Amino acid sequence: MRPIRLFCSDIDGTLAGNREAEARFRDAWLGLAPDKRPLLVFNSGRLIDDQKAFVATTALPRPDIYIGGVGTMLDNAKEPSHAALYSRAIGAGFDHERINRALSSVPDIIFQPDMYQHAQKSSWYLHDADAATLASIEEKLAGAGIAARLVYSSKRDLDILPDGVDKGAALSWLCRQLGLSHEDVVVAGDTDNDRSMFALLGARGIVVGNALDELKSIAGDRPDIYGSSGKFADGVLEGLQHWGLFSTP
């Protein structure tokens, strides 16, 4: 089995959510020999500063690299230039007032607090939206001249991102910068905003046991995606064992 050189995981509901499981993951991860330990990347809907503050409250190890804002931000302490390079690569950002006007007639949509917003991400709450509602929002944005990608997850969270941007696209960009192929990568997640990571051709995946059905549905017929029975970080450990990072007990 091909060695894992980079492991990229969502945080909330995937690695985080059970403190004892977080500690088991930390101990197993840090117990790997340094030359066998992959790069650890956290890929979250949280903005970078929020991720760092949250991770500090968990038992998880600190990652090598953060991807934040559903793929709109990147922080690599060993290569600080990556943040600005990536920001330029995905564009100048949105006219948020224009987005607000375009969505003003959408029933029951609520602008998320400022801590979830930044120049290249506009985030909203919209409960139980169906495909027709999301298509209507796409039409409203297009009609306002806004080129955007919609990511809807957890039957609540609507993120409006620059066209072509998501968690998977950010991870793919990072791989190119690091000289890695998707075949070197394992990803893990629990909701639909993680789906784009699993769409990277060649990457292997882990869907944790507590994942929402919206993501579990992709695991059944794909041998490159492992559906764990374990929940949260225990499910991640189970998946990494399946993909050969940890030996079978």
Contacts of 120 (CB under 8 A, 6+ apart): 69, 72, 73, 87, 90, 91, 93, 94, 161, 162, 165
Q: Which of 165, 156, 175, 42 is nearest to 93 (CA)?
A: 165
Q: What is the pLDDT of residue 212?
A: 93
Q: How far is CA 217 from CA 44, 139, 211, in A?
A: 21, 27, 10
Q: What is the pLDDT of residue 178?
A: 98
Please give the chain's pLDDT, 249 residues, in tens.
899 999 999 999 999 999 999 999 999 999 999 999 999 999 999 999 999 999 999 999 999 999 999 999 999 999 999 999 999 999 877 889 999 999 999 999 999 999 899 999 999 999 999 999 999 999 999 999 999 999 999 999 999 999 999 999 999 999 999 999 999 999 999 999 999 999 999 999 999 999 999 899 888 889 999 999 999 999 999 999 999 999 765
Q: What is the pLDDT of residue 145?
A: 94
Instruction: Name the token pair of 144.
Output: 């306002």
Q: What is the DSSP letter of 194?
A: G
Instruction: Name the token pair of 112.
Output: 């998320």
CATH level 3 topology of 6-90+165-242: Rossmann fold (3.40.50)
- Which of the four CATH numbers 3.40.50.410, 3.40.47.10, 3.90.1070.10, 3.40.50.2300 does domain 96-162 have? 3.90.1070.10
Q: Where are the domains of the chain?
A: 6-90+165-242, 96-162
Sign, Cα dihedral of 129, 155, 93, 186 = negative
Strand order in the sheet with 185-189: 73-76, 65-68, 39-43, 6-9, 185-189, 204-207, 225-227
Q: Which of 242, 213, 241, 212 is nearest to 24 (CA)?
A: 241
Strand partners, 122: 160
Whether the model clears a pTM of 0.85, i.e. scores above it, the answer is: yes
- 6-90+165-242 and 96-162: same fold? no
